[in-house]
A and B are shown apart, each in its own frame.
Chain A
Amino acid sequence: MLTTNQSSYDLFCFILQRSKKEKCTFHFHNTTVNIFVAKSKKTLAKPGVKNIVLVDGVRTPFLQSGTIYADLMPHDLARAALQGLLNRTGLPKDAVDYIVYGTVIQEVKTSNVAREAALGAGFSDKTPAHTVTMACISSNQAMTTAVGLIAAGQCDAVVAGGVEFMSDVPIRHSRRMRKTMLSLNKAKTLGARLSLLGSIRLAHLAPELPAVAEFSTAETMGHSADRLAAAFGVSRLEQDEFALRSHTLAKKAQDSGLLSDVISFKVPGKDIVSKDNGIRPSTMEQMAKLKPAFIKPHGTVTAANSSFLTDGASAVLIMSEEKALAMGYKPKAYLRDFVYVSQDPKDQLLLGPTYATPKVLEKSGLTLNDIDVFEFHEAFAGQIMANLKAMESDWFAQTYMGRKTKVGAPPMEKFNSWGGSLSLGHPFAATGCRLVTTVAHRLQKEGGQYGLVAACAAGGQGHAMVIEAYPQ
């Protein structure tokens, strides 16, 4: 590690020692000098532990819900992502040992959406598939489940992914109505049926809508995000600026073809879709006009600085390094240490990244300075800013996390530089795979070695994973 009191000789030695293209930026007399320095660790490979690699990852275009995907079903989207992965990798369908898929809002007809999508995508009917759910980190859970299966020696090639379809959600009859209808099934005589029918009141017909709200606290996530932003003193201006940054960077990435994980998808009855449709860089003036969406009239979270309801699916191919190489693949990255964390679902609902980041860094023996690429899930601009402030605070680390010092906030030039959930969209269970694939692609493109993924999720949970570039 380079410290300020090292002599120029040491600095020189450091430069000579560099094993890879690790970049470090120095500022001398207003001129910026990029030099490459060594990491805390040359690699995160551990003796006796199987290397697990990301072979490739794809996703359908992420579309605002109610747009072109509106008439599909969730497994259709998942199917498109799985077929896209097969096409991209040229993977023989029977080479997959297992499929794990994440989803949050379940379509009751396809409650094991993994299996339905796999069958529909033409995978072998001999390949088992299961569905996991962990709110916005569902596909992270799918990927780490895959990692676990491979590490335990039970599988060699696993497909993981996630799908979310917000254009259609299960809207139920009221509990009273459901009870009457279920009793109706059991009623034997006409009289019994009629009396049950007679018991129906107008109020029983009111439907139950699913809400993006915590079950434990009944608070909607936007409301919680607004309170979180206020707790950390994040201003409306800061949030709008961050949202604008996200859209601007996403637009740039889209225009320069960096979002190569996006596959084209011929939607039945519609055109071919090949681009995310939620990226809309606006102006600060326009964004300032919006009224707060959750806490009225003095809140700061608006439609423009929140992620929007999105339809989309993603999929990744995860293999043991041996198997990948044996099959002739050139892997994109190693999947290394990961952690899951959880905290108070009321006041710290969206602080997952703050808790998960220092923990995963500690686990892998790295520091924040070792990380070249950060991909954090952007649920709300206010949530990201609050997390950055929390990570920058010794007091918070000491008082709430039982740590001696802060972990520090990621430098912005390394942070979500191809856009994020605010602009690209956030199909709840599909975002995790997007984050990991993006880290792999950015490491390749920017020439870094280590990347960090972090995300918050409903229930006051969080996740982080360290990804290491595959030597090119």
Chain B
Amino acid sequence: MASVRLLVTRSGCTALKAITGHGQRSLSVSSAVLARTHVSYEVKDNVAVVRINDPTSKVNTLGRHMQAELVEVINEIWGNSAVKSAVLISSKPGSFIAGADLNMFQACKTAEEVSYLLQAGQKMFEQIEKSPIPFVAAINGSCLGGGLEFAIACQYRIATKSKKTILGTPEVMLGLLPGAGGTQRLPKMVGLPAAFDMMLTGRNIKADKAKKMGLVHQLVEPLGPGLKSAEERTIEYLEEVAVDFAKGLADKKVTVEKKKGLMQKVQDFVMGLPPVRKQIYKTVHNKVMKQSKGLYPAPLKIIECVQTGIEKGNAAGYLSESENFGKLAMTSVSRALIGLFYGQVACKKNHFGQPEREVKKLAVLGAGLMGAGIAQVTIDKGVATILKDTTEEGLARGQQQVYKGLNDKTKKKSLTTFERDRIMSLLSGQLDYRGFENADMVIEAVFEDLSIKHKVVKEVEAVIPPHCIFATNTSALPIKDIAAASKRPEKLIGMHYFSPVDKMQLLEIITTSKTSKDTTASAVAVGLKQGKVIIVVGDGPGFYTTRCLAPMLAEAVRALQEGVGPKKLDSLTTGFGFPVGAATLADEVGIDVAAHVAEDLGKAFGTRFGGGNIEVLKMMVQKGFKGRKSGKGCYVYGAKSKEKKVNSGAEDILKSFKLTAPPAVSADEDIQYRLVSRFVNEAVLCLQEGILPDPVQGDIGAVFGLGFPPCLGGNKICKVNFHNPPFSHISGPFRFVDSYGADKLVQKMKHFEEAYGNQFTPCQLLLDHAKDSSKRFHK
């Protein structure tokens, strides 16, 4: 049985891009006299070819207008006795239907209004399912959400094997459920386990996998160029093939039913037993509860809808689906996830304009974990990259890391070995500055030490051309301090990547007062090319992300000193919605790094950054407990055992630094809010001080930058179930303040302040919001 993982992979989120599109609500469709703009059809050999193309957007979405035209066209087809079958196809390259129009739901005021909209969709699809003539869905490009529900209502599905063709139900990632028959049809089509897997993870399914699962009937190979461009000709070819199949279906030469194998028959039989199904519902429910900590309502509703449909019949199932969708659409979780999604889209754009020169050659200094990671995501996008280190061992390690990163993709078949080799050929590993005279950008990722950074700035500036940008990858050193050594500070900028670079989506770009706009535009362009979600923040110790994390970690250390064990601390933080517990997070970041940052920022910000005793961390580093990388941190990392054991050495250190927990602020919930409020307060302060340009970037930075995958550097990609990034059900510190209430938070902080002092003093902006409840960070 396929394991049901509630795993929203980061890359999965990008698929959501398509879900929104741009609404066309404003178009009023009062008159049927108007020529149709979104849907057209022609009859070829008794086959009606219905073509969809939303002229107002890059992708097709099911909005009111599209739906209305579709209903019209389909009715016309049914009324035409010459039509024996139909093909549904998109004329847009790369998009079949990317989902329902989110704006349509967001405009609704009540759950009932949303349910009503859903019921119209359900009805349309049901009519197609029961259509007297067969419908063939010809799929090229994204077929997601409502698009997939449309396709599975058709009698036959043909998909191109293009890399752009993806099928899936990503609604769960927006706190919603497949509300137009998806929860009812999918289990029948692909079986209960696979259907749960699809709907609960929201994962994208490629065409060949879809064929294996029984989600599509036929595959069509994408074509190269002929007498038309490859894209255009592929769509034409897909249509030709689909028309042939449609004819075959009408003539009964093609049958829809596949012959079932023995395994399939056995599975069907087993699934036919009510106790077995009951057990499945229970198992899935428990898994969801375990992983979501009950913070996300959508997965549970999905299970409920599926169960209702199977056990009580279609009518009940549809009703449950539309009602639950309506309810979910009104939840703050869904609103927050949708807000987060829009924020992510906004952070995938370059707001600084087109840079004067495109970066065609990049050089990375330092082949460590970060440097090699940056090199990998750069060559991956076809940009020639120099990877320079000072020692052969360091360089070899870095090159191996890049190779491994790409080779793992070939194992997962997302890359062929040939493509891997081509990409690797763009990497030039070297120990000297050869070729730097042609570099358009240099990103340094050398050791975090100001004097070393200064030395590097001077060395590099001596060899690079005048137009070349110098970017520094640092997680805490102020950029202006690094720029002090530069002869050309306008060309210097901070690019803070997160480890592991090839998995973490966030890039924090830091500008100083001297950084030119073109330099920023260029850094953003490079980051976008590398596939990053980008926030651009002002300079200062710890910038934004590190600065917010530091007080939270200091609080975590204090909690540990107060006798909250690492395991308890982890469960409290994950229970609040963080993907990784605070103690595990410290191990992943590295205790030495945490100590380093805590010390630096402690110096810069004073007692506000206090809390836990920094000597705890220093002592741990001294004893070699540097976290996962050294095998020991808060936990012991054995090679095999699944269960993490607490490091007794670390416990001894904690005992020697034991603090007494003030009982008034040490209940479980208190500890959670102590951790969270320090993070949130620092974030709001960053906005107040202008480090952050706006709350959207603050939320995105917190969500995408600080969700550390728990299996750093492991072989398998995150088999451990972590699902959403921290704060994602509340979608970042600013959305959290909006939904929780600034006044309530300030109240809590004041309570903590009494026990601990100024670490919990709310900043002015937070106080302003507490005083005036009409003030909100997000509209």
Residues of A bordering B, CB below 8 Å = 215-218, 223, 226-228, 230-233, 295, 297-298, 344, 346-348, 386, 389-390, 393, 395-396, 399-400
Among residues of A, the one whose C-beta sits closest to the C-beta of B222 is A227
Q: Which residues of B contact A230 (CB under 8 A)?
A: 221, 223, 226, 233, 237
Instruction: Select one of A223, A226, A298, A396 contacting B227, CB under 8 A.
Output: A396
Listed from nearest, the 10 A-B pairs whose CB atoms lie closest are A347-B224, A231-B226, A232-B226, A231-B223, A216-B418, A298-B241, A231-B224, A230-B237, A227-B221, A227-B223
How distant is the Cα of A222 from the Cα of B244 in the complex, in angstroms? 22
Q: Is B230 an interface residue, CB under 8 A from the partner? A: yes
| Contact status B416-A217, CB under 8 Å | yes
B187-220, CB < 8 A from A = 218, 220
Among residues of A, the one whose C-beta sits closest to the C-beta of B422 is A216
| Contact status A217-B418, CB under 8 Å | yes
How distant is the Cα of A347 from the Cα of B224 in the complex, in angstroms? 5
Q: Which residues of B contact A231 (CB under 8 A)?
A: 223-226, 230, 233, 237
| Contact status A400-B225, CB under 8 Å | yes
Query: What are 12 pairs between A and B in contact, CB < 8 Å?
Result: A215-B418, A216-B416, A217-B416, A228-B224, A228-B226, A231-B233, A298-B218, A298-B241, A348-B224, A390-B226, A393-B227, A395-B227
Give 4 A-B pairs besides A348-B225, A389-B227 with Cβ atoms closer than 8 angstroms: A231-B237, A232-B226, A348-B224, A393-B227
How distant is the Cα of A215 from the Cα of B417 in the complex, in angstroms? 9
- Given that A216-B418, A231-B233 are contacting pairs, would A298 and B244 also be in contact in the complex, using a CB cutoff of 8 Å? yes
Task: Specify which of B229, B245, B418 lies most central, judged by the most chain A CB atoms within 10 Å of its CB.
Answer: B418
Q: Which residues of A contact B418 (CB under 8 A)?
A: 215-218
- Given that A218-B416, A230-B237, A298-B241 are contacting pairs, would A386 and B218 also be in contact in the complex, using a CB cutoff of 8 Å? no
How distant is the Cα of A232 from the Cα of B226 in the complex, in angstroms? 5
Q: Which residues of A contact B227 (CB under 8 A)?
A: 232-233, 389-390, 393, 395-396
Among residues of B, the one whose C-beta sits closest to the C-beta of A297 is B218
Q: Which residues of B contact A393 (CB under 8 A)?
A: 227
How distant is the Cα of A215 from the Cα of B419 in the complex, in angstroms? 11
| Contact status A347-B221, CB under 8 Å | no
Q: Which residues of A contact B416 (CB under 8 A)?
A: 216-218
Q: Which residues of A contact B245 (CB under 8 A)?
A: 298
Among residues of A, the one whose C-beta sits closest to the C-beta of B221 is A227
Among residues of B, the one whose C-beta sits closest to the C-beta of A299 is B221
| Contact status B225-A346, CB under 8 Å | no
How distant is the Cα of A231 from the Cα of B221 in the complex, in angstroms? 10
- Given that A217-B416, A217-B418 are contacting pairs, would A227 and B224 also be in contact in the complex, using a CB cutoff of 8 Å? yes
Return A200 CB to nearest CB of chain B, in Å: 24
Q: Which residues of A contact B228 (CB under 8 A)?
A: 395
Q: Which residues of A contact B220 (CB under 8 A)?
A: 298
Task: Specify which of A216, A226, A298, A393 lies most central, judged by the most chain B CB atoms within 10 Å of its CB.
Answer: A298
Among residues of A, the one whose C-beta sits closest to the C-beta of B236 is A233
| Contact status B225-A386, CB under 8 Å | no
Interface size on B (CB < 8 Å)? 18
| Contact status A346-B224, CB under 8 Å | yes
Instruction: Select one of A216, A298, A344 contacting B224, CB under 8 A.
Output: A344
How distant is the Cα of A227 from the Cα of B161 in the complex, in angstroms? 12
Return B627 CB to nearest CB of chain A, in Å: 37
Q: Which residues of B contact A228 (CB under 8 A)?
A: 224, 226
Residues of B bordering A, CB below 8 Å = 218, 220-221, 223-230, 233, 237, 241, 244-245, 416, 418
- Given that A216-B418, A217-B416 are contacting pairs, would A386 and B221 also be in contact in the complex, using a CB cutoff of 8 Å? no
| Contact status B218-A347, CB under 8 Å | no
How distant is the Cα of A233 from the Cα of B237 in the complex, in angstroms? 8
Return B49 CB to nearest CB of chain A, in Å: 16
| Contact status B224-A386, CB under 8 Å | no
Among residues of B, the one whose C-beta sits closest to the C-beta of A226 is B221
| Contact status B226-A233, CB under 8 Å | yes
| Contact status A396-B224, CB under 8 Å | no
Task: Specify which of A215, A232, A390 lies most central, judged by the most chain B CB atoms within 10 Å of its CB.
Answer: A232
Among residues of B, the one whose C-beta sits closest to the C-beta of A344 is B224
How distant is the Cα of A346 from the Cα of B418 in the complex, in angstroms? 12
Q: Which residues of B contact A344 (CB under 8 A)?
A: 224
Return B714 CB to nearest CB of chain A, in Å: 25
Among residues of B, the one whose C-beta sits closest to the C-beta of A346 is B224
Q: Which residues of B contact A217 (CB under 8 A)?
A: 416, 418
How distant is the Cα of A295 from the Cα of B161 in the complex, in angstroms? 12
Return A450 CB to nearest CB of chain B, in Å: 29
Among residues of B, the one whose C-beta sits closest to the C-beta of A217 is B418
| Contact status B221-A396, CB under 8 Å | no
How distant is the Cα of A270 from the Cα of B218 in the complex, in angstroms? 48
Q: Which residues of B contact A216 (CB under 8 A)?
A: 416, 418
How distant is the Cα of A171 from the Cα of B89 in the complex, in angstroms? 45
Return A446 CB to nearest CB of chain B, in Å: 32
How distant is the Cα of A399 from the Cα of B228 in the complex, in angstroms? 10
Q: Which residues of B contact A227 (CB under 8 A)?
A: 221, 223-224
Among residues of A, the one whose C-beta sits closest to the C-beta of B421 is A216
Q: Which residues of B contact A233 (CB under 8 A)?
A: 226-227, 233
| Contact status A347-B237, CB under 8 Å | no
Among residues of A, the one whose C-beta sits closest to the C-beta of B158 is A298
Q: Which residues of B contact A295 (CB under 8 A)?
A: 221
How distant is the Cα of A290 from the Cα of B724 in the complex, in angstroms? 53
Among residues of B, the one whose C-beta sits closest to the C-beta of A396 is B227
Among residues of A, the one whose C-beta sits closest to the C-beta of B226 is A231
How distant is the Cα of A26 from the Cα of B245 in the complex, in angstroms? 46
| Contact status B225-A399, CB under 8 Å | yes
Return A301 CB to nearest CB of chain B, in Å: 12
How distant is the Cα of A395 from the Cα of B228 in the complex, in angstroms? 8
Return B244 CB to nearest CB of chain A, in Å: 6
Among residues of A, the one whose C-beta sits closest to the C-beta of B219 is A295
How distant is the Cα of A228 from the Cα of B227 in the complex, in angstroms? 11
Q: Which residues of B contact A400 (CB under 8 A)?
A: 225
| Contact status B225-A396, CB under 8 Å | yes
How distant is the Cα of A236 from the Cα of B418 in the complex, in angstroms? 32
Q: Which residues of A contact B241 (CB under 8 A)?
A: 298
Return B256 CB to nearest CB of chain A, in Å: 14
Q: Which residues of A contact B230 (CB under 8 A)?
A: 231, 347
How distant is the Cα of A348 from the Cα of B228 in the complex, in angstroms? 14
Return A346 CB to nearest CB of chain B, in Å: 7
Among residues of A, the one whose C-beta sits closest to the C-beta of B220 is A298
Q: Which residues of B contact A298 (CB under 8 A)?
A: 218, 220, 241, 244-245
How distant is the Cα of A54 from the Cα of B230 in the complex, in angstroms? 42
Return B382 CB to nearest CB of chain A, in Å: 16
- Given that A216-B418, A217-B416, A217-B418 are contacting pairs, would A347 and B225 also be in contact in the complex, using a CB cutoff of 8 Å? yes
Return A6 CB to nearest CB of chain B, in Å: 33
Return B555 CB to nearest CB of chain A, in Å: 53
How distant is the Cα of A230 from the Cα of B418 in the complex, in angstroms? 25
How distant is the Cα of A351 from the Cα of B224 in the complex, in angstroms? 11
Q: Which residues of B contact A386 (CB under 8 A)?
A: 226
Return A210 CB to nearest CB of chain B, in Å: 17
How distant is the Cα of A285 from the Cα of B667 in the complex, in angstroms? 85
Among residues of A, the one whose C-beta sits closest to the C-beta of B229 is A399
How distant is the Cα of A396 from the Cα of B227 in the complex, in angstroms? 6
How distant is the Cα of A348 from the Cα of B225 in the complex, in angstroms? 8
Among residues of B, the one whose C-beta sits closest to the C-beta of A215 is B418
How distant is the Cα of A231 from the Cα of B224 in the complex, in angstroms? 6
Task: Specify which of B218, B220, B225 lies most central, judged by the most chain A CB atoms within 10 Å of its CB.
Answer: B225
How distant is the Cα of A386 from the Cα of B245 in the complex, in angstroms? 24
Q: Which residues of B contact A232 (CB under 8 A)?
A: 226-227
Q: Which residues of B contact A396 (CB under 8 A)?
A: 225-227
How distant is the Cα of A295 from the Cα of B244 in the complex, in angstroms? 15
How distant is the Cα of A389 from the Cα of B233 in the complex, in angstroms? 15
Return A110 CB to nearest CB of chain B, in Å: 29
Among residues of A, the one whose C-beta sits closest to the C-beta of B234 is A231
How distant is the Cα of A232 from the Cα of B244 in the complex, in angstroms? 18
| Contact status A347-B244, CB under 8 Å | no
Q: Which residues of B contact A346 (CB under 8 A)?
A: 224
Among residues of B, the one whose C-beta sits closest to the C-beta of A400 is B225
Return A350 CB to nearest CB of chain B, in Å: 10
How distant is the Cα of A141 from the Cα of B377 in the complex, in angstroms? 41
Task: Specify which of A218, A231, A344, A396 lies most central, judged by the most chain B CB atoms within 10 Å of its CB.
Answer: A231
Q: Which residues of A contact B223 (CB under 8 A)?
A: 227, 230-231, 347
